Amino acid sequence: MAIEDIYALIAPDMEGVNRCIQARLQSEVVLVNQIGVYIINSGGKRLRPVIHLLAARALAYEGSQHIELATVIEFIHTATLLHDDVVDNSDLRRGKETANNLFGNEASVLVGDFLYSRAFEMMVELGSMPVMDILAHATNTIAEGEVLQLLNVHDADTSEARYLEVIHNKTARLFESAAQLGAIIAGRSKEETQAMKAYGMHLGCAFQLIDDVLDYRASSDEIGKNIGDDLAEGKPTMPLIYAMHNGTAEEATEIRKAIEEGGLERIDKVCAAIESTGAIDYTADCAQIEADKAIEALSIIPASDYKDALSFLARFAVERTY
């Protein structure tokens, strides 16, 4: 199985999601349309909607709410990207200029707010209190994760546990909700719903840990952002935390200064320390453990091509180079 096979498996559903996105992005305000269309069509993998669609189909869902929910999930994710890029002052995402770089910070923040509010309008239309409860709490947790990450910036004393809390809240929570909601709308058992929730959470953590790896291993063309962006912003990610605690005193000092001061002046020494301590392999091993847990969580889900696709996504999360 390849990633293209996943999209082929759910092609009709994805076409429905794309139509729904285009329809629900419409606004009488021209700038909202421009920025919304730009960021939505900027080359993302639509991974979170894909997870939701596969989870719903794996649990034999036959209705149409999964199309609306996948769109809601994509709108929430896109809103977080718009806000993230403003907070991080990013100028490149998915190999293209960020919306804030093109349209300005103010417009990006406000269109992010528009996408959040449109997502909640759509949730209300679905008329399901469990759906609204899950997504409302997820959105709140994501915001908390953003604030936690902000508190960790330039803090060289950030622990591995504190960092894992950030990625669970900031990244994994929407993966978790996407998979869980597939079981909710399918009306499945508490055990299957919990299994899908666990699958999404572990998959999201694996995905973010590999992003940490790619920040030092991939090329800008491959990952669509500038290499060393996290280091430049003073973000203590897993490779940095591990290398600082397992390297020499000199290496620890260099990494501490790099985190506290930001910038890329020390990137060569930091990369050397990451390499010598095996921090990349350690982070990749952590991601593999999360991926294995995601696959294990699917054990009670009935066999199907959709279940196989979910398992493949867990392996893809740790094997990808972009």
pTM: 0.91
The token pair at 148 is: 């936690």
pLDDT of residue 282: 97
How does residue 219 score in pLDDT terms, banded at 50, 70 and 90?
low
For the chain, give the longest Cα–Cα distance: 60
Q: Is the dihedral of CA 291, 296, 302, 304 positive or negative?
A: positive
Question: pLDDT tens for residues 270-285?
Answer: 999 999 999 999 999 9
Q: What whole-number distance in Å separates Cα of residue 123 and Cα of residue 65?
A: 10
Q: Does the structure show a pLDDT above 90 at 40?
A: no
pLDDT category, 223, cuts 50, 70, 90?
very low
Kindly tell me if the per-residue pLDDT of 35 is higher than 50. yes
φ and ψ at residue 227, rounded to 5 degrees:
-65, 140
Q: What is the mean pLDDT of residues 73-77?
A: 94
- How many C-alpha atoms does 149 have within 13 Å on its Cβ side? 22
User: Token match 């960092």: residue?
Assistant: 163
Is residue 220 over pLDDT 80? Answer: no
Taking the C-alpha atoms of residue 31 and residue 21, their distance in angstroms, rounded to an integer, is 17
**Residue 89 CA to its chain's centroid (Å):** 18
Helix 190-217 vs helix 305-319: crossing angle, to nearest 10: 30
Domains and CATH numbers, the chain: 3-319 (1.10.600.10)
pLDDT, tens digit, 9 for 90 and up, residues 45-66: 789 999 999 999 999 999 999 9
Name residue 92's beta-bridge partners: 97
β-pair partners for 96: 93
